[in-house]
């Protein structure tokens, strides 16, 4: 049986590019492209994208015959629900990987909306019918502009097959970004938490012998950054020992101080410019750590503000 799941995403800023990936083990392919302005629902927005997942599954003879004879196939059937869950997971991880690789801000959930007849089935892959008992959703997320390259497509396919998704630190930063206007204090607290989580996960991967220390009450983030034995990392950036650039550490110190004031007193002098700077710095910090964790993520250095990593440029 063929299944197709379709969502509208916000922030498709890759022009006429068609981004595709697949999970061969689950027989799922995913394609993301610009959404055509054809007057459909939900209402069209200029940065809309359309993501479509296709899947083929073998159903039991009983369920297959029941569906073909009645023309009805329900989401409440276990095999159908499993296909939906696998496709939805593939879509979510695809979009998160695209946003991670593309340095794109956005809400934690990357789906803006479902479309009419968003989950459909077909016997032959030509004539489609809506799966019964579906419920649609509507969610928005923010965006930023970035092209999509061949290297990005290769990264997406590789990481999707590996079962990867966007690291937790980046996801927490998205939650912080959502709150920047409605609750700036919460936004800053979450941003610092994103930096701390990202750092602890980095240490667990890069220094497994001391990973257990991350489970204990730890000293301030900036103290740990200065005390970490960076020279033990095998990776070098233009023959230099990697370490978090001083401009990032200085801004993180400010962020931690403000976070502590908020947590302990609920009061802090927090301007929108300061919050913006901190959110950008945490993003730089997380991408810098991505580049160091040893899984071929050096592309992440290109997504760090180049003004803060000048030390590592070739002389």
pLDDT value at 203 more than 80: yes
Torsion of CA 285, 290, 291, 295, to 10 degrees: 170
Model pLDDT for residues 250-262, shown as the tens digit of each residue: 999 999 999 998 8
**Average pLDDT, stretch 179-186?**
85
Model pLDDT for residues 257-298, shown as the tens digit of each residue: 999 988 888 766 788 889 999 999 999 999 999 988 755 567
| Residue 230, SS3 per DSSP | helix
Q: Give percent of the chain with pLDDT exceeding 90.
A: 47
143: left (phi over 0), alpha (psi -120 to 50) or beta: beta
What is the CB neighbour count within 10 angstroms for residue 63? 16
φ, ψ of residue 234 to 5 degrees: the values are -75, -30
**Average pLDDT, stretch 154-180?**
91
Task: State if pTM tops 0.75.
Answer: no
Q: Which two tokens stand for residue 93?
A: 């991880």
Which of residues 100 and 52 earns the better pLDDT score? 52
**Average pLDDT, stretch 105-116?**
78
Highest mean pLDDT among 13-22, 190-199, 232-241: 190-199
Q: CA-based angle 166:171:174, to the nearest 5?
A: 130
Are 137 and 113 within 8 A, CB to CB? yes
Q: Which two tokens stand for residue 150?
A: 């061949």
Give the torsion sign (CA, 257, 210, 288, 170).
Answer: negative
Residue 273, classified by CB atoms within 10 Å of its CB into exposed (0-12), middle (13-18) or buried (19+), is exposed
In 3D, which of 255, 211, 246 has the Cα closest to residue 225?
A: 246
**Average pLDDT, stretch 61-86?**
93
pLDDT value at 123 more than 60: yes
Q: State how far the Cα of 102 lies from the Cα of 145, in Å rounded to an integer.
A: 9
In 3D, which of 82, 95, 86 has the Cα closest to residue 20?
A: 95
pLDDT value at 64 more than 90: yes
Are 208 and 299 within 8 A, CB to CB? no
Least confident of 176-185, 198-207, 287-296: 287-296
Q: State how far the Cα of 283 lies from the Cα of 309, in Å rounded to an integer.
A: 14
Distant-in-sequence contacts of 207-215, Cβ < 8 A, 24+ apart? 207/232
């Amino acid at each position: 049986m063929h299944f197709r799941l379709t969502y509208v995403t916000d922030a498709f800023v890759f022009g006429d590019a068609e981004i595709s990936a697949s999970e061969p083990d689950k027989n799922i392919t995913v394609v993301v492209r610009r959404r055509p302005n054809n007057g459909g629902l939900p209402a069209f927005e200029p940065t809309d994208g359309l993501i479509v997942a296709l899947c083929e599954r073998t159903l039991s003879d009983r369920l297959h015959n029941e569906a073909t004879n009645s023309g009805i196939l329900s989401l409440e059937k276990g095999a159908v629900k499993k296909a939906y869950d696998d496709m939805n997971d593939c879509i979510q991880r695809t979009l998160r990987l695209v946003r991670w690789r593309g340095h794109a801000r956005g809400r934690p959930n990357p789906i803006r909306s479902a479309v009419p007849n968003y989950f459909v089935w077909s016997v032959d892959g030509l004539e489609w019918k809506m799966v019964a008992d579906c419920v649609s959703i509507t969610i928005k997320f923010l965006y930023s502009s970035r092209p999509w390259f061949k290297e990005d497509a290769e990264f997406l396919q590789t990481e999707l097959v590996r079962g990867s998704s966007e690291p937790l630190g980046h996801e927490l930063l998205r939650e912080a970004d959502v709150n920047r206007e409605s609750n700036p204090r919460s936004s800053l607290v979450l941003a610092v938490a994103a930096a701390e989580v990202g750092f602890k996960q980095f240490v667990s991967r890069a220094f497994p012998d001391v990973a257990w220390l991350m489970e204990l009450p730890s000293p301030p983030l900036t103290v740990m950054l200065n005390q970490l034995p960076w020279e033990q990392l095998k990776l070098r950036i233009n023959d230099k020992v990697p370490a978090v650039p001083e401009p990032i550490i200085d801004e993180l110190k400010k962020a931690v101080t403000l976070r502590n004031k908020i947590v302990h007193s609920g009061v802090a002098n927090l301007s929108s410019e300061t919050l913006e700077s901190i959110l950008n710095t945490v993003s730089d910090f997380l991408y810098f750590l991505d580049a160091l964790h040893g899984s071929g993520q050096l592309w992440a250095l290109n997504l760090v503000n180049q003004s803060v990593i000048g030390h590592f440029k070739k002389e």
